[in-house]
Structure 1
Amino acid sequence: MTHSPPSPDLKTPPDLETLLDQMTLEEQVSLLAGADFWRTVPIPRLGIPALKVSDGPAGARGGGALVGSTHTAAFPVGIALGSTWNVNLLREVGAALAREAHDKGAGVLLAPTINLFRSTLNGRNFESYAEDPFLTGKLATAYVQGLQAGGVAATVKHFVGNESEYQRNTISSDIPERALRELYLRPFEMVVKDAQPWAIMTSYNKLDGTYASEHPRLLEGILRGEWKFDGLVMSDWGGTHSAGASVRAGLDLEMPGPSRARTTLLEEAEHDPATRAAVRQSARNVLQLIERTGTFADPRDTSDSGEREEEYPDTRALIRRAGAEGMVLLKNDGLLPLPQGVRVAVIGPNAATGQVMGGGSAQMNAHRRVSPLEGLRAALGEENVTYALGCDNDRFLPTLNVPVQLDFFDVQSVSFGTQERTGSEQMLFSLPQGLDASDFRATMTLTLQAPHDGTYDLSLYSAGLSRLRVDGQEVIDNWTHWQPGDTYFNFGSDEVRASHFLKAGPHTAVVEFAPKAVENTVAAFSAMRLGFRPPAPQHQLEEAVSAAAQADVVVLCVGTNGDWETEGVDRWGLDLPGRQNELIGAVLAANPRTVVLLQTGGPISMPWLETAPAVLQAWFPGQEAGFSVADVLLGQADPGGRLPQTFPRSLHDDPVHPLEPGLQYPGEHGHVAYQEGLFIGYRHVDRHGLTPLFPFGHGLSYTTFTVSDAQLSADVLEPGATLRVSVQVRNTGERSGQTVVQLYIREKNTQRERPDKELKGFAKVQLKAGETQEVQLELDMRSLAAFDDTRAAWVADAGEFEVLLGQSSADLPITLPLRLLEQWSEPVSSSSKEAHA
């Protein structure tokens, strides 16, 4: 059957129903899986363009590989943005990311990540916002609003129950209904209702035994039925597991492409009316996303070669400001801010390296990675800043930023050409045309420079088979006995290391590579990473101690990096890796005037806390990291961050008790049971009477604040009423600064199990010295309600409540009584969303 191509007016959005009527069933089906890793399938005869998507939450990477792709702006990671508690700032970040996405030819950004911090050991802890659903929902709503106002679709993820990386592709998150509704679904519900996101991404895991990507109750019942979501639902990459069943369950788009799970979808749709109707609706949702992003009217250049690397001064300024505002001053005995003219020793494994992002799909090729050393030298002058390494914190041997030559061959050794790239880690997404991605050969050739005779450390890991030869001699065999590990999203091997003597001078290194099929892989995934490290100086720690003793002040830069905090594997524990705690102790002994600057993606233990006069949690604050750090340390910016996650004293105080591995964490026999129910984070702390290392909401300023004169618009409420809360905030110090007013609700004499208190309102306030501002917060009935799973309704019982106000979950000096006269309820099945008293 032939079709005469219509001549659509590309500047006028098409009528989607007419367009669907013009499409064959085969064409409708073709829209429901990607064309490749980043693009949907175009249909030129009907004027339907391809739509490009891009990772991710902290920057628009574009269509390239996770390493070595087009340069782009790297924003603070999720937990750093969460620490700002600033909805207006999140809206600004979303708007800036829309421009970045446009530069990459993308109409869809795979962000934000809004899973909660159930455990301190979640590998993607750094990528999300908070342990609290209300804080997460408010921040994500603003981010989505800013992004979509710029014509770029948000893809809110991962829906739902992806709170750890252990066996994430297959594990079933078994979540009690109340916890599911009150915690894990709540931020998604808030974003869907308040920001109307254009896309949702399902999680890899199962929910109560059924894959989230084909869960009818989750996708059709809750998301579309209860919340009235009208956008597109896509799978995570490789997270589609069926053809007709997934479409009928409400999953519109399988990613990436070409299709793996939906190869039989056309045949099923031809023989089953229900599948055929579902295909049409999902195709409509794809077309609607193309329309909403303006791609019908203005088709983008979705090719990777068309990506722009333009850098914007206002974006750099925004990243620098956001990075500083997310930094949390955990402790300060008067050492900070530092005075101008101070002589500083910058010490530690993160001192001379800009740790600006976490690992996995959130990483990108940043325009720059400003280190704390660079930032402080720019601010204080090089003559006032010395440097010492002290120790390393490497999980893997470092890569080399040197030119490499990639040569490609088929299995008969026929050459398919050469590519010149940079860096000793390469992801082989872009292969020469005609080369079979599942069956080829490649070599990576580069030069190793040995500064002196000695024994050097080399390493290799790969998604695929690999071996390393240096000057023709085999040094590492990761081919003959390749074993699966936890690199490259669990598709790669573990790191294989070797020591090899090199004479001073250049040496030729060649990595041979062949792809290897891995069960449940998203596609033909091929990557290799060569690590190289000269022999470590024998007296690193002693040199650091000497530098510390000679300085006025030490800035000790410790923590982790994107190898430790990454997608695909959970965190290692709470102790700082390597000899960092030893380094901290030695430096503090040599110079008590030491600021411990932490860069991690989540909580750590701090055995040195009592002796450290100042501790600043800087997270991974984006490409301007060192400038943001200098701004805060020198008082050019107030440390505006407040913890979005409780810092426990030890793993024993973690709500999922990971010291006793099992069904609750990380899981057993394909299931992880959320046995703690409602009690994560500060809710867990309150329930068990714990004293955390630092509480949820904690953070210090360089000035002081008081909250006082709080008032309620009414202390007795009728069902369905709205409550307004006002409070006076005063800067009682001598300099301007920021604080966060936090409002929690407590139900007294509750008849059902509830947390002691729950965050239901907050406001970021910036005041000059001596300035006072009235803050107003508004509460609705949902702020008082709990989920009644026997009635499938939100219920606020008649009785006594308390409104708690302060500046952290452990600092709530104001308590106001409140009474609800009669019970209020809202059934979740109510299509009108009308409350029922």
Structure 2
Amino acid sequence: MMSSRIDQLLNEMTLEEKVSLLSGEDFWSVPAIPRLGIGKLRVTDGPNGARGGGSLIGGVKSASFPVGIALGATWNIELVTEIGAALADEVKSKGAHMLLAPTVNIHRSVTNGRNFECYSEDPVLTAELAVGYIKGLQGQGIGATIKHFAGNESEIERTTISSEIGERALREIYLVPFEHAVKKAGTWGVMSSYNRLNGTYTSEHNWLLSTVLRDEWGYDGIVMSDWFGSHSTAPTVNAGLDLEMPGPARDRGQKLVDAVNAGEVSQETLDKRVLAMLRLMERVGSLDDHRTHEERADDRPEHRALIRRAGAEAAVLLKNNGVLPLTGSGKIAVIGPNAKVAQIMGGGSAQLNAHYRISPWQGLETALGSGRLDFAAGCTNHRFEPVLQGPFSVEYFANQTLSGEPVHIDTMEGAQAFWIGNVAAGKVDPLHFSARLRGQFVPETSGEHRVGIYSAGFAKVFVDGKLIADAWSSWTKGRTFFEEGCDEVVGTLPLEAGRPHEVVIEFATKDFATLGLAAFACGIGRPLGDEAIAEAVEVARNAETATIFIGRNGEWDTEGSDLPGIVLPGRQNELVEAVAAANPRTVVVLQTGGPVEMPWADRVAAILEAWYPGQEAGNAIADVLTGAAEPGGRLPQTFPVRWADNPAHSQDREVYPGLEGKVRYEEGIFVGYRHYDRVGMTPLYPFGFGLGYTSFALSDLVVDDSAFESDGNVVVSLAVANTGDRPGSTVVQLYVSDEKSSEPRPAKELKAFEKVHLQPGETRSVTLLLDARAFAWYREAAQHWLVEAGSFTISLGQSASDLPLSASLTRATTLMLPV
């Protein structure tokens, strides 16, 4: 519906004013139109926080919430809704009106670098959580921007590759979260993906943006491009892309004015795009927002508590031989590269400058006291050398040759930068400048050190006047900085403990491929050898319980780069084997953005997957380990025994990672647990699995199928009882099987679920509703959903491999459903 005010504004706007609303003014805003009293629309990156208008590094501090896969592991729609509302507070604190979130692409493979940011391998779990997130956010007047629409399931050649996906797989798997976001949550924003879909860029894909999204689903919000993700003028506007981001305009502006005047874009089409923007601005209140832009760091106690609670509810207990929760008063060995480093988030556009970071060591120290804890690092797990900390002086030059006098002098806290928008107080062109940094490094130990540099631009590192690492002379595109940067270049040299060594970094911008940015990171590290593992073994041997904090970090789990595999980086597997041999009470705490291979799983006493749970990471983990909180998580993604077991792994490179500009979704609808069922393979840990500190029983299944024949609806109820002696939670999961279909279908598909919290001895009735779509598959030839005549089985339990309750249903007729 169009308000009379919007109608009036549209009628009063000139062609140039209309066009101005269809492109960004700068990196984060859409321009105001003062003549008509139209305020500026501002957006900010998410989804695990609200960064504001600053760089990926530094900037105004923000609350860091659990990442997407952690929220997926909660299976708790109410909790995710609560987080959405809290994120609305964060967006407001940054003076913005819209959050670029949630991310709902499907976990097609186990190596997608951005899986951490997405919820699940399952479309229904993803969709229901996305609906909660959007309702929480928009209920507070902040617009959601669900992304990336569609087919962005890997980070390899992500800005150009064509995802080749059949329509049935699109309809049944990859489009489901977006469909629910439109039909159930009424999302105000959709972001198109970078990639092509079946040969056409999604930003100019008429079938996707107009036929499906608007005509079939009835969407009335806006579609914006991913940053630098639009590639044309008339084709994007005509296909349904409302907003080109970021600004200033590249393919719009005067080009769009000319296209309208030439008849390449009709006035009617232009007005549709402008009306969508005005409707959004009215919804989020930016039409009348004429305040001076201000960003605040609101460190709210209620957000701290919510993040801590959500982190514990996301933690998945995969194994427990009675060692958890921690009891007694003996020594606890705290071991591993993630023990004293708070791994709170993944990498890429989801990064932000958190208010604080609590490490597992700090969490356990607060809970148990430092006197009970002994530490050993054991090994490292970084992808890049640890960033060199400052301070650094920085000289900026208004050229790319470091020549002449600097036009601006500043300081930096560390040897890393992500320059976008305003650089050097606006005294240089952000895409054409150079900079020289000077600082010092004081080694803690003497010996051979590694100096690493990677950059989106040209860079060199000098130590004590000698060139050590050169990413300038033979710069080659790699997998850093959203595929705009090179891979790390590393040099070595001996350094002396306690002696200040001068470090000089030279940087110059270069032409970019897709994303206009300049960035670098420089680090210095000392490799850990056999002695570090030996020290960890000794610490573990002298402790009552050994806890090992291992996994990955945001250098590995990051936008712009897929993982090379799912083996733990470095010597972490070796460390676990050695510690477990020394202490049978070994607890492994994983922090990853997805599955890892665990060759030691049968030799440790307990395994906890804690993901990246936000700024309260260490406190949330300590709460679970000590029993102050229940490990409430259940796996949102199947953990395979090995990388080669996952659905997208193939000897055919076009299936994954892609070949000659195409990645073919050969597995179709058989993603995640559907694949393992199809091939008869037992995973390491199944979808939906997770243990707790209490036990549950499911019983008294009742299925009301009285309306199944007429309209396809079914009502399922059952009793859930906490049979243990602690409060706890479980997830009731309902799967549907079509016993005989005319086309291949998965052995079972998740269609409903509910998170249930119960006190000891408490029993509760749970009711789950199924509509006709829960029994349907998409028939490409006829362009409709089809529920076939025949028998269906409903199975219920607590994971995809634990389904003790079942019932059969039968239909005598077929039922056709519209798209």
Q: Normalising by structure 2, what TM-score? A: 0.97
Indicate conservation of the 8 Å contact 1:449/1:506, yes or no.
yes
Indicate conservation of the 8 Å contact 2:778/2:785, yes or no.
yes
What per-residue deviation string (whole Å, max 9, x for no partner) do you get for residues 25-49 of structure 1? 1111111111111111222222222
SS in 2 for 1:83: helix
What is the distance in 2 between the residues matched to 1:273 and 1:590? 73
Task: Give yes or no for the alignment of 1:595 onto 2:595.
Answer: no
Question: CA shift at 1:393, angstroms?
Answer: 0.4
Say which of 320, 345, 354 aligns to 1:332: 320
Structure 2 residue aligned with 1:67 = 57
Indicate conservation of the 8 Å contact 1:716/1:818, yes or no.
no
Alignment of 1:644-655 (within 5 A): 644-655=636-647
Question: Which residue identity does 1:603 align to in structure 2?
Answer: P
What is the distance in 1 between the residues matched to 2:670 and 2:618? 37
What per-residue deviation string (whole Å, max 9, x for no partner) do you get for residues 62-106 of structure 1? 111111121111100000000000000000000000000100111
Task: Give yes or no for the alignment of 1:374 onto 2:362.
Answer: yes
Question: Which residue identity does 1:404 align to in structure 2?
Answer: F
What is the distance in 1 between the residues matched to 2:579 and 2:538? 9
SS in 2 for 1:374: helix
What is the distance in 2 between the residues matched to 1:714 and 1:485? 56
Task: Give yes or no for the alignment of 1:87 onto 2:77.
Answer: yes
SS in 2 for 1:467: strand
Structure 1 residue aligned with 2:178 = 188
Question: CA shift at 1:501, angstroms?
Answer: 2.8
Structure 2 residue aligned with 1:833 = none
Say which of 510, 516, 524 aligns to 2:510: 516
Alignment of 1:209-224 (within 5 A): 209-224=199-214
Structure 2 residue aligned with 1:199 = 189
What is the distance in 2 between the residues matched to 1:655 and 1:622? 30
SS in 2 for 1:637: coil
Question: CA shift at 1:14, angstroms?
Answer: 7.6
What is the distance in 2 between the residues matched to 1:452 and 1:740? 50
Task: Give yes or no for the alignment of 1:42 onto 2:32.
Answer: yes
SS in 1 for 2:138: helix
Task: Give yes or no for the alignment of 1:239 onto 2:232.
Answer: no
Say which of 346, 364, 368 aligns to 1:358: 346
Question: CA shift at 1:538, angstroms?
Answer: 6.0
Structure 2 residue aligned with 1:8 = none
SS in 1 for 2:41: coil
Task: Give yes or no for the alignment of 1:564 onto 2:556.
Answer: yes
Structure 2 residue aligned with 1:632 = 624
Say which of 597, 611, 615 aligns to 2:603: 611
SS in 1 for 2:237: helix
Indicate conservation of the 8 Å contact 1:49/1:295, yes or no.
yes
Indicate conservation of the 8 Å contact 1:716/1:819, yes or no.
no
What per-residue deviation string (whole Å, max 9, x for no partner) do you get for residues 98-149 of structure 1? 0001001111101000000111111101010011100100000000000011
Structure 1 residue aligned with 2:304 = 316
What is the distance in 2 between the residues matched to 1:53 and 1:436? 23
What per-residue deviation string (whole Å, max 9, x for no partner) do you get for residues 215-249 of structure 1? 00100000000000100000111110100110010
Alignment of 1:314-463 (within 5 A): 314-339=302-327, 341-411=329-399, 413-429=404-420, 430-431=422-423, 432-463=425-456
Question: Which residue identity does 2:224 align to in structure 1?
Answer: M
What is the distance in 1 between the residues matched to 2:657 and 2:264? 42
SS in 1 for 2:287: coil
Indicate conservation of the 8 Å contact 2:379/2:532, yes or no.
yes
What per-residue deviation string (whole Å, max 9, x for no partner) do you get for residues 417-462 of structure 1? 1222312111122313242222222112222113354332211111
Structure 2 residue aligned with 1:51 = 41
What is the distance in 2 between the residues matched to 1:425 and 1:781? 53
Say which of 489, 495, 503 aligns to 1:496: 489
What is the distance in 2 between the residues matched to 1:624 and 1:300? 33
Structure 2 residue aligned with 1:6 = none
Question: Which residue identity does 2:667 align to in structure 1?
Answer: E
Structure 2 residue aligned with 1:808 = 799
What per-residue deviation string (whole Å, max 9, x for no partner) do you get for residues 281-300 of structure 1? 21222222111111223345
What per-residue deviation string (whole Å, max 9, x for no partner) do you get for residues 545-593 of structure 1? 0000011101100100000110111112011010000000000000010
What is the distance in 1 between the residues matched to 2:121 and 2:58? 33
Q: Tell me the C-alpha RMSD between the 2 structures.
A: 1.4
Question: Which residue identity does 2:310 align to in structure 1?
Answer: A
Structure 2 residue aligned with 1:539 = 531
Q: Answer with 231-240 or 28-37: which moved more.
A: 28-37
Task: Give yes or no for the alignment of 1:256 onto 2:250.
Answer: no
Task: Give yes or no for the alignment of 1:643 onto 2:635.
Answer: yes
Structure 2 residue aligned with 1:124 = 114
Task: Give yes or no for the alignment of 1:738 onto 2:729.
Answer: yes
Unpaired segments of 5 or more residues in structure 2? Answer: none
Structure 2 residue aligned with 1:689 = 680
User: How many corresponding residue pairs?
Assistant: 810
Question: Which residue identity does 1:811 align to in structure 2?
Answer: D
Indicate conservation of the 8 Å contact 1:469/1:475, yes or no.
yes
Q: Answer with 758-767 or 288-297: which moved more.
A: 288-297
Change (3 A) 1:661 1:401: farther
Indicate conservation of the 8 Å contact 2:707/2:713, yes or no.
no
What is the distance in 2 between the residues matched to 1:468 and 1:240? 36
Unpaired segments of 5 or more residues in structure 1? Answer: 1-12, 829-837
What is the distance in 2 between the residues matched to 1:481 and 1:276? 50
Question: CA shift at 1:396, angstroms?
Answer: 0.2
What is the distance in 2 between the residues matched to 1:183 and 1:384? 49
Structure 1 residue aligned with 2:468 = 475
Say which of 505, 512, 519 aligns to 2:499: 505
What is the distance in 2 between the residues matched to 1:453 and 1:173? 50
Question: CA shift at 1:194, angstroms?
Answer: 0.3
What is the distance in 2 between the residues matched to 1:335 and 1:452? 37
Change (3 A) 1:42 1:462: same
Question: CA shift at 1:667, angstroms?
Answer: 1.3
Structure 1 residue aligned with 2:766 = 775
What per-residue deviation string (whole Å, max 9, x for no partner) do you get for residues 146-191 of structure 1? 0011111100000000111111111111111111100001111011
Change (3 A) 1:342 1:314: farther
Structure 2 residue aligned with 1:145 = 135
SS in 2 for 1:718: helix
Structure 1 residue aligned with 2:701 = 710
Indicate conservation of the 8 Å contact 1:719/1:781, yes or no.
no
Question: CA shift at 1:716, angstroms?
Answer: 6.8
Indicate conservation of the 8 Å contact 1:73/1:623, yes or no.
yes
Indicate conservation of the 8 Å contact 1:464/1:513, yes or no.
yes
Say which of 15, 18, 33 aligns to 1:25: 15
Indicate conservation of the 8 Å contact 1:719/1:821, yes or no.
no
What is the distance in 2 between the residues matched to 1:667 and 1:61? 32
Indicate conservation of the 8 Å contact 2:38/2:288, yes or no.
no
Indicate conservation of the 8 Å contact 1:705/1:732, yes or no.
yes
Change (3 A) 1:417 1:610: same
SS in 1 for 2:426: coil
SS in 2 for 1:32: coil
Question: CA shift at 1:196, angstroms?
Answer: 0.4
Q: Answer with 264-273 or 360-369: which moved more.
A: 264-273
Question: CA shift at 1:273, angstroms?
Answer: 6.6
Change (3 A) 1:183 1:36: same
Structure 1 residue aligned with 2:161 = 171
Say which of 690, 695, 700 aligns to 1:699: 690
Structure 1 residue aligned with 2:123 = 133
What per-residue deviation string (whole Å, max 9, x for no partner) do you get for residues 493-549 of structure 1? 111111123333222212111100022x222x1111110124647611110000000
Structure 2 residue aligned with 1:576 = 568
Question: Which residue identity does 1:288 align to in structure 2?
Answer: R
What is the distance in 1 between the residues matched to 2:655 and 2:271? 41
What is the distance in 1 between the residues matched to 2:75 and 2:270? 41
